[in-house]
Amino acid sequence: MLTLQAVLDGLLLGILFALIAYGMALQWGVMNIINIAQGDLVILGGYIAYFMYLYGIHPAWGVIVSPIIMYFVGVVIYKLVINKVVDRDLFISILATFGISILFMQLMNFAFGADVVLANSGYGTTMLFDNSVTLPNSKIFSAFISIVFAIGLVVYMKKSKLGRAIRATAQNARAAKILGVDTEKVYAATFGINAALCGVAGALISITFTIHPYMGLPYTIRSFMIVIVAGLGNLPGVAMSGMGLGVFEEFADYILGTEFRIGSVFLLLVLILVYRRFKLSRKREYLK
Amino acid sequence: MIKNNLIIYLAILIFGLAAPFVFPAFKVQLSILCILIILAITWNVQGGEMGYNTFGNILFYGLGMYLCASVQVGMFFPLGEWTEGGGEKTFVHTPAQFFQGFAFGLAVAAIVPAIVAGLIGYSILGLRGHYFAICTLGLGVAAGEISGGIEIIGAGQGFTTPPFPNVDRLEARGEFFYFCSFIVLIFTFLAVKAIYSTRFKLVLNAIRDNEDKAEAMGIQTMKYKIIGWMISAFFCGLAGGIMGGLVGYIDSTDVAFDGREMGVFMVLMAILGGKGTLWGPVIGATLFHIFKEGFWTFFLGWQYVALGVLIVVIVIYFPEGIMGWLREKYPERFGEVVDEADRKAQVTLK
């Protein structure tokens, strides 16, 4: 039954990863930027929910409040840093966002302390299959909320004016500009939406798991991995590979032990990249 | 021009030899400066000349650090008992054992990372651009996380390197490590300078400028990329080995595979000085170290905030670095012939 437990845990965890990865795919596709600070945005969103919990508000409301705050954080980051690296070499953007990541890590460390915290939602647990599988209700709640947000965003991108502008910019920024799309605004909104998604995911993570100022980078790597496995713009793929990663991680946790959990995630990234590189090199191509 | 260079080299050599006696209080700082310059130079071989921007050289640095210390201990005493805790008190190296072990350890610390680079090079170097950068970032972090779980090298509690043996002079420890790092620095600099004067550098530059075309011209790019990475790894491992002895204590994520500090520092120093130049990393590392030591205590706990801001500012506003800026200003000094009409034409075209 341990296997079933791991699979269910992994699936619920993976949905959260997929939400973060969706944000990354969005801004990667639109702005061609890899945001190393993605994970730190997640953690920051988590701290917003945690603070609401500290002040006596139920942390589940963080799901509403955190994305609103994070949207503006994202727009500010865009205005200060990202808009200067959008058209530049990709390595420049990686390094710049790496700088932002270090900055955020340390600021959060100052503001919130270096303790591992979680916001207790008090949702209780569900027992399944004769009490052999334990599922905290908060995990089910967070998976449900992630799906709601993901579907909401997909609909928004399809139907709304801004969504169409974002998709047009992703296809061809220059043509979009000619046709009257204010790409600067679109970029800012994209980055803001990405940060807001991170905020939602962070609030959910603070309810279901734990947060810590230095835990950001693994989330970045996970979302990067999910995006390269699924491919840009492949939403079902993002969901599937997110859940796959979640299951993988739970099994790595059970088999290798918790101390190798993060290490196995990073190793998996290396293995996936190497596998894809060999697969593509047969056709004399490379990852672009 | 040659005479000028000779004077500069001599001045630096004399300064380097005299420094520990003139500024005895700064011996450790000067040794760290040497290590930083080595790391910046080796990163530049990889990132500046070859265009393969890596975050993963920290892997070789940490590997060298662990290897050097393990060999130094393991040659004479059981490694497992040493790292279990308090090993440095039960087992004491005699001076002869210490120096023998250190020399042998450094050799291993240089050669094994180079071999590792050669082995993984074929798989990893097939990636390009940002995939390579993120993959190497993953490698560095994974190495740190995994080494933190291995019992025999101290796992989470760290690894105390052999303490410096009791010789009569109190100053000996600092001087020993300073000269070690200084000699390795000179060795690195001369080796890289020699490499840069060969066809090998041109091949690396060709790979940086356009790898597909380089391949089409009949250059076996993969071979050269692997050799370039091995050179990088060789010197990174050496630097790591010395640093391990200098710090005296190895922790998996805070000292050895410290991607947040050393791993970023080496990229930053090379970019600050100017990518793809011989002297750029040296200047960049020196300035960075002076800035770091001068202001780190001033920021008092806000170092990483300052570091983050510094990265963003350098990357956004100063991506060409000091040498790049000088090159733009005085192109004649760099042996570039500038046609005035051409330059004007370029300006107007913009």
Interface contact A224, partner B, CB < 8 A: yes
Q: Which of residues 154-213 of A touch B (CB under 8 A)?
A: none
Residues in chain B within 8 Å Cβ distance of A278: 123, 126
Interface contact B123, partner A, CB < 8 A: yes
Other Cβ atoms within 10 Å of A57 Cβ, number:
14
Give the pLDDT confidence score for residue B86 in this predicted structure: 64
The alpha carbon of residue B308 is apart from the nearest alpha carbon of chain A, in Å, by 4
- B18: tokens are 């005299």
Interface contact B238, partner A, CB < 8 A: no
Between CA A23 and CA A43 the distance in angstroms is 14
A5 in Cβ contact with A133 (< 8 Å): yes
Interface contact A111, partner B, CB < 8 A: no
Give the pLDDT confidence score for residue B338 in this predicted structure: 65
Q: Which of A79, A82, A103 to mutate to test the interface with B (most CBs of B within 10 A)?
A: A103
Closest to A215 in 3D by CA, of A225, A202, A226, A200: A202
Nearest to B127 among A85, A99, A273 (CB): A273
Give the pLDDT confidence score for residue A180 in this predicted structure: 87
CA B142 from centre of chain: 19
Counted across chains A and B, CB pairs separated by less than 8 A come out at: 132
Please say whether the dihedral angle defined by the alpha carbons of residues B87, B91, B95 and B100, taken in this order, is positive or negative. Answer: negative
CB contact (8 A) between residue B129 and residue A104: no
Task: Return the CATH number at A195.
Answer: 1.10.3470
Q: Is A131 inside a domain boundary?
A: yes
Give the pLDDT confidence score for residue B266 in this predicted structure: 85
Spans of chain B below 50 pLDDT: 349-350
Q: Is A103 inside a domain boundary?
A: yes
Q: Is A73 inside a domain boundary?
A: yes
Q: Is A60 inside a domain boundary?
A: yes
Between CA B93 and CA B100 the distance in angstroms is 10
Question: B321 to each of A284, B66, B328, B335, B337, how far by Cα in Å?
Answer: 35, 33, 11, 18, 21
The 3-state secondary structure of B212-247 reads: HHHHHCCCCHHHHHHHHHHHHHHHHHHHHHHHHHHH
Nearest to A102 among B53, B134, B304 (CB): B304
CB contact (8 A) between residue A257 and residue B134: no
Domain that holds residue A203: 2-259
Task: List, as one string, the DSSP characters of B64-79.
Answer: HHHHHHHHHHHTTS-H
Domain count within chain A: 1
Give the pLDDT confidence score for residue B12 in this predicted structure: 83
- B151: tokens are 């019992």
Between CA A250 and CA A264 the distance in angstroms is 11
Q: Is A266 inside a domain boundary?
A: no
Query: Rounded to the nearest 10 degrees, how much is the dihedral formed by the CA atoms of B324, B325, B326, B330?
Result: 100
The alpha carbon of residue B121 is apart from the nearest alpha carbon of chain A, in Å, by 11
Residues in chain B within 8 Å Cβ distance of A38: none
Alpha carbons within 13 A on the beta-carbon side of A105: 22
Residue showing tokens 């996380």: B145
CB contact (8 A) between residue B138 and residue A269: yes
Above pLDDT 90, what percent of chain A?
A: 4
Interface contact B122, partner A, CB < 8 A: no
Between CA A287 and CA A281 the distance in angstroms is 9
Interface contact B148, partner A, CB < 8 A: yes
Nearest to B308 among A85, A106, A110 (CB): A106
Give the pLDDT confidence score for residue B337 in this predicted structure: 67
Q: Is A71 inside a domain boundary?
A: yes
Q: What is the largest CA-CA distance in chain A?
A: 63
Closest to A229 in 3D by CA, of A218, A217, A214, A244: A244
Interface contact B271, partner A, CB < 8 A: yes
Structure confidence at residue A138 as a pLDDT band (50, 70, 90): confident
CA A159 from centre of chain: 23
CB contact (8 A) between residue B146 and residue A267: yes
Strand pairing of A133-136 and B159-160? unpaired
| Mean pLDDT of the region A167-188 | 88
Domain ranges of chain B: 27-319, 321-350
